[in-house]
Structure 1
Amino acid sequence: MTQPLGMAARTVGHGGARRRGWPWARIACLLVGGVLLADALVLMAMGFFMVGVTVPAALGLVLCFVGARWHGVRDGFHRLRWGRLAWRTGWLLLAAWACSVGVFWAVLVQQVNALGQVDKAVTPQAIVVLGSGTPKGQPSPALRARLDTAHALAAAHPQAWVVVSGGVDFGETLSEGQVMGNYLREQGLDPARILQEERSTSTELNLQYSLPLLQAQGLGLDSAVAVVTSDFHTLRAQRIAQKIGYTCALAVAAPTPLYIRYNAWLREYFAMASSWLLREL
């Protein structure tokens, strides 16, 4: 039976809009996926291949593909028996993940603010600075911020030992501990106060391998220790220290440079999840 001309026009128009339209979800896929993928590729080019880089890269690639082939992917799902349910479930899971990132960041901000209020009332016996990359034998921006924070803390507590902790980066010849110690000495910190740990390759090992250096100075797991790290890393560092057995350890937050803050906080989300799965926390 022939459709009325108006009805046919509306059908064609609606179908054309369906084929040519750019719904908000498709635009969001391309934007979010493009940012995740580009950011991960830049970090991979710099030699970073940890979970916090590879997982966002994979997610970004999937989102870019879905955004670029929106109608084909959607129609392919809809042709399957449970396809419509799977398509909608996938979007709900993605929304839930985005919400979980927001919640994690909110908790992290609350943690940083709380620690900032507490650390002023604590007198540390030792200051442990966690490593964070030393490209070309120089502290990375994040590591420099940690060292500057530790230097100010050491000036306020002249009786505290300062432990700089970190092994040799991929492609480097100097350990993070050596580079960190050099930086603090150049900033005028008394070399006699600096203890260098140069074997560790993770936060857990930072704190484990720093312990013998503290014990050699008469300190231990029950001593007041300030663990200086980047703001995004404080929550995980605090929990790892507690699991190792430090009973009086307090994470001290160093600011993350603005231009790497988005990436660092996103990577920490995945790093936190990875540490939880590996039972490091």
Structure 2
Amino acid sequence: MKTKLTQKKKMDKRFLILNIAVIAVIVFTSLYVWTVGDDYTLHTHFYPEDGTIDNVVVNVKDDDVVEFVNVRTEKGELVADFRSDNRGKTDVLISYSIGDTKMDPMVFNLEVNEFDTIIDHTMGDIHFNGDKAVIISIIALLALAEVMMLWMYIDYRKQGKFSYTMIACGGLSIFNAILLAYVIYYLINMPNLSIGTFLMLVTGAGTIMLIVLFPLMLLLAILLAISNIWLMKNEGYRPVNALGIFFAVIWALGTLGTVGVYFIPYSNYSSGRVGYIVLMVLVYIIGYLECMFISTVACSFLATKYKVPTDRNFIIILGCAIRGDGTLTPLLKDRVDAAVAFEKKQYRETGKHAVFVPSGGQGADEVISEGEAMENYLKSIGIPEERIVREDKSTNTMENLKLSKEIIDGMSDSEDKKIAFATSGYHVFRGYIMAKKIEMEDAKGISAKTKPYFFPNAFLREFVGLLVDQKWKHIIFALAIVAFFGTLAYMIF
């Protein structure tokens, strides 16, 4: 309960502002459309040369649905005004003459929905009074979301708050930026865009997103596969070492099953309306997941490059396997050396020493604990014993941090404990996630050099961790996509 309450108190207020803005815009737009939607000005897109027409006759097939009010010219265009009466559908025929020539009637399809809003479905498009307000509101929300997501992402980067929330902000920023750029481009070129055409553009934006992301995703998929082959060559074959290859294959199949069908003539329509909607839902969800994966890679990389403030009181060194004779493996030695190098730099810059907390228990095949092995090494390179506090009970990363935190809490009653943790580069982001879970909010990661082939599987692990840790948010987003396309199908089809 304490952890949940703490997390709730520390929730970024910018998320609250964004949520309030979304609700406010939806409510305002809905009320506006509901207020003006029972009237409708039908634009015929017919412009008589002299601005006048003769013998205009407006015939409403079912006058119980809509009531004809008047017909007129507006800016040289023939327009007609209607008012809703009852829910239903009806055709409207507008006949006219030019001189002595009687023209063929123009046919329009009107519908009054359950909210008394008149919707014009002529030629499969959608028009209603207030549709421009809907378009402007959607663009405004996209723009606001983009600003807020980028703001939070950059802010988290500057403060060293690497987390799944940061990944989500980055992923949504990429996702949103592509949608926003695509929509604005078409609005500039088609300023009189109808709501129906606008919604269809938004539908097509998902495919554009996959096409835009394709080169980067292809590069990442190739690098994942190559790195896994390299990993298995050096570390041996295990199923976990082939995760990158598995991901690359799944991504390729997903891309071929969505974007690939557009290269087959008429295939996107061949399965009918339901098939088309299902395809669009899959396109958007795959695009969303790709954005999240790219953000995961970016955040994991940035976590290794973050410059830890030189004001740390304690440096936890995360353990891993040691050699049979109790000495450090190259991987673990690099972690200890990185911690020592940082501490020396901190002392040079600030005159402040930090206490080392080498952390790791004794495995079944280890002669001493990992914590003791690291302590021995620290002493051998001249670190005084009084600046080393060993933790030797932990069995995994979470316990490394948790048990080390308990030791640190026992040494100092101060609330302001500046803590860093040292680990291999590929493991730094994981350290941030674990530290956050045990409320070590200010802990910063010191990155040690490591073989590059370890990174891809770490990216995939954090990507899966993101999906699992925030599964309900991702499920809600996916349901929102389904709801959007379901509503679109109802309105257009």
Q: How does the TM-score come out when normalised to structure 2? A: 0.38
Q: Distance in 2 between matches of 1:253 and 1:35?
A: 27
Does residue 168 (structure 1) correspond to residue 356 (structure 2)? The answer is no
State the partner residue of 2:297. 105
TM-aligned CA deviation for residue 187 of structure 1: 1.6
TM-aligned CA deviation for residue 147 of structure 1: 0.9
TM-aligned CA deviation for residue 44 of structure 1: 6.8
Is the deviation greater in 32-41 or in 227-236?
32-41
State the partner residue of 1:3. none
Give 1:1-281 correspondences, 5 Å limit: 35=226, 38-39=229-230, 41-42=232-233, 45=236, 53=241, 55-56=243-244, 58-59=246-247, 99-113=291-305, 115-116=306-307, 118-120=308-310, 122=311, 124-136=312-324, 137-155=326-344, 156-157=346-347, 159-169=353-363, 171-219=365-413, 222-247=416-441, 249-260=442-453, 262-263=455-456, 265-266=458-459, 268-270=461-463, 272-273=465-466, 276=469
Higher relative contact order (CA 8 A, sep 6+): 1
Write 1 or 2 for the structure with the bigger share of strand.
2
Q: Distance in 1 between matches of 2:363 and 2:415?
A: 27
Structure of higher CA gyration radius = 2
Checking the alignment, whether the CA contact within 8 Å between 1:167 and 1:199 is kept in structure 2 is yes
SS at match of 1:173: coil
* Aligned length in residues: 241
Identity %: 20
SS at match of 2:449: coil
Change in 2 beyond 3 A, CA 1:95/1:274:
closer
Checking the alignment, whether the CA contact within 8 Å between 1:203 and 1:237 is kept in structure 2 is yes
> Please, what is the CA RMSD of the aligned residues?
4.6
1:75-100 per-residue CA deviation (whole Å, 9 max, x = no partner) reads xxxxxxx9999999989877765553
Letter in 1 for 2:447: A
Checking the alignment, whether the CA contact within 8 Å between 2:314 and 2:419 is kept in structure 1 is yes
SS at match of 2:390: strand
Which 5+ residue runs of structure 1 have no aligned equivalent? Answer: 1-24, 67-73, 75-81
Checking the alignment, whether the CA contact within 8 Å between 2:339 and 2:446 is kept in structure 1 is no
Q: Distance in 2 between matches of 1:172 and 1:275?
A: 33
Q: How does the TM-score come out when normalised to structure 1? A: 0.61
SS at match of 1:119: coil
Q: Distance in 2 between matches of 1:47 and 1:219?
A: 45
Letter in 2 for 1:149: A
Letter in 1 for 2:341: A
TM-aligned CA deviation for residue 130 of structure 1: 1.4
Letter in 2 for 1:207: L
Letter in 2 for 1:176: E
SS at match of 1:162: strand
Checking the alignment, whether the CA contact within 8 Å between 1:126 and 1:225 is kept in structure 2 is yes
Write 1 or 2 for the structure with the bigger share of helix.
1
